[in-house]
Amino acid sequence: MAAEQHLSAKSFIIDASPKQVAAALGVSESSVKRWCDRGHLATSRTPGGHRRVAVADVLRFARDRGHVLRAPSALFVDEEPSRSPSPTAAAARRTLMHALLADDAERVAATILDAWRARGSVHALSDEVITPVFAEIGERWERGTVDVYEERRACELVHRALREIDRALPVPGRGAPRAIGGTLEGDPFSLPTALAELVLRERGYDASSLGTWLPAETIAHAVSARRPRLVWLSVGHVVDARRLAAGHARVEEAARTVGASLVVGGRALEPAVRKQLRYAAFCDAMGHLASFADALHA
Ligand code: B12
């Protein structure tokens, strides 16, 4: 099941209605609608034609125009709770998005740690909270309401919070199965491989992410030297499908030589690309990695 389907990320609403904006700013709803229609506030429309304003744009508008946010919480009241399959995950997504765009490192860490405890696993934290929030950030980047520096900073803040989870997890026991992974050259996406490491650590693996943008040869060396039980590759961006297939084949060969299972995942692994690759498992969500890892280690 694709992460997007499972989480209905598209129906994950973080934009506010004119009524919510009005309540937050302490002005009338008709003023807000007028600002929307005059282009002072960047506005999108719901499928039913209702105006929606991104929370980040409301904050920017208030700052630029010197408006006081009298009731900021009004922006985060879910007007359509029945749309969400899990209200707690929806609340965590909202808080996380707000904290990321406000560059509030402490709140990001607190929200991620709370969501981890509430969801009960790193894979659920990833699939239900972090991934949909970043999908939304990506959509905003496409619409031009989030800048590249904000996107990058958001990744940094999440990495910091993940380090706290890392510290809270028990040290792997002697004899714990090893796992290593990362991304190949041309692929800068650092969150999925960091999350895969924590998913596996939580399941009792001695897991290490080697990071991003790695020559296949060096991953192959790591596999030969460390003899892991599981190797993962995350594919978030493909520059050249043939090059990816060649790099992947090198890692797969190294994994086969030491008897490791190669697990692949990532947004850019479309069926046409996957057909050229050999692997033990393809996962489109971290929950699949957790299940596979448990089965392998049973
Ligand atoms: C942050 C970000 C960046 C950052 C990355 C920084 C960093 N340190 O990682 C930067 C600014 C570098 C960047 C660059 C680019 N980006 Co960008 N980026 C994003 C963004 C907002 C978030 C990515 C992310 O980390 N998501 C969170 C992770 C956890 O989610 P995920 O990768 O989907 O992982 C889930 C599953 O795929 C799975 N999974 C993933 N890997 C693995 C591995 C295993 C083993 C398993 C089991 C599972 C698994 O598990 C996760 C579920 O929990 C996305 C939007 C989005 N939808 O994700 C756009 C997005 C991916 N970027 C996009 C684009 C276009 C680009 C650029 C091409 C822009 C450009 N013109 O230069 C470049 C490409 C890279 C390059 N040329 O170097 C597009 C891609 C569109 C497309 N269809 O290909 C997106 C979708 C934005 C958009 N909506 O248009 N980006």
pLDDT in tens, 145-175: 999 999 999 999 999 999 999 999 999 989 9
- Pocket of ligand 1 contains residue 182 by CB under 6 Å: no
DSSP of 22-38:
HHHHTS-HHHHHHHHHT
Architecture of the domain made up of 178-297 = 3-Layer(aba) Sandwich (3.40)
Angle, in degrees to the nearest 10, between helices 241-257 and 216-226:
10
Q: What is the pLDDT along the chain (298 residues), one digit of tens a residue?
A: 333 223 233 223 357 889 888 888 889 999 999 999 999 998 887 767 788 887 777 877 887 888 877 776 677 655 544 344 455 899 999 999 999 999 999 999 999 999 999 999 999 999 999 999 999 999 999 999 999 999 999 999 999 999 999 999 999 989 999 999 999 999 999 999 999 999 999 999 999 999 999 999 999 999 999 999 999 999 999 999 999 999 999 999 999 999 999 999 999 999 999 999 999 999 989 999 999 999 998 7
Looking at domain 86-168, its CATH superfamily turns out to be: Methionine synthase domain (1.10.1240.10)
Between the CA of 31 and the centroid of ligand 1 the distance, in Å, is 37
Between the CA of 189 and the centroid of ligand 1 the distance, in Å, is 6
The residue whose CB lies within 8 Å of the most ligand 1 atoms, and thus the one to mutate among 137, 208, 237, is 237
Between the CA of 188 and the centroid of ligand 1 the distance, in Å, is 8
Between the CA of 28 and the centroid of ligand 1 the distance, in Å, is 39
Between the CA of 161 and the centroid of ligand 1 the distance, in Å, is 19
> Which amino acid residue places its CA nearest to atom 2 of ligand 1?
151
- Pocket of ligand 1 contains residue 192 by CB under 6 Å: yes
The residue whose CB lies within 8 Å of the most ligand 1 atoms, and thus the one to mutate among 148, 151, 213, 252, is 151
Q: What Å distances lie between residue 129 and 12, 86, 93, 185, CA to CA?
A: 10, 11, 5, 28
- Pocket of ligand 1 contains residue 149 by CB under 6 Å: no
Architecture of the domain made up of 6-77 = Orthogonal Bundle (1.10)
Q: Do the beta carbons of residue 127 and residue 144 sit within 8 Å?
A: no
Q: So what's the pLDDT on residue 77?
A: 57
Q: How many angstroms from the chain centroid is the CA of residue 141?
A: 15
Q: So what's the pLDDT on residue 63?
A: 77
- Pocket of ligand 1 contains residue 183 by CB under 6 Å: no
- Pocket of ligand 1 contains residue 247 by CB under 6 Å: no
Between the CA of 236 and the centroid of ligand 1 the distance, in Å, is 5
- Pocket of ligand 1 contains residue 267 by CB under 6 Å: yes
> Domain coordinates of the chain in residue numbers?
6-77, 86-168, 178-297
Beta-carbon contacts of 20 under 8 Å, excluding residues fewer than 6 positions away, are: 74, 75, 77, 79
- Pocket of ligand 1 contains residue 115 by CB under 6 Å: no
Q: Do the beta carbons of residue 147 and residue 177 sit within 8 Å?
A: no
- 244-281: per-residue pLDDT in tens? 999 999 999 999 999 999 999 999 999 999 999 999 99
> Which amino acid residue places its CA nearest to atom 57 of ligand 1?
135
Q: What Å distances lie between residue 186 and 73, 115, 131, 212, CA to CA?
A: 41, 32, 21, 9
pTM of the predicted model over 0.75: yes
Domains 86-168 and 178-297 agree in fold:
no
Closest ligand 1 atom, CA of 267?
37
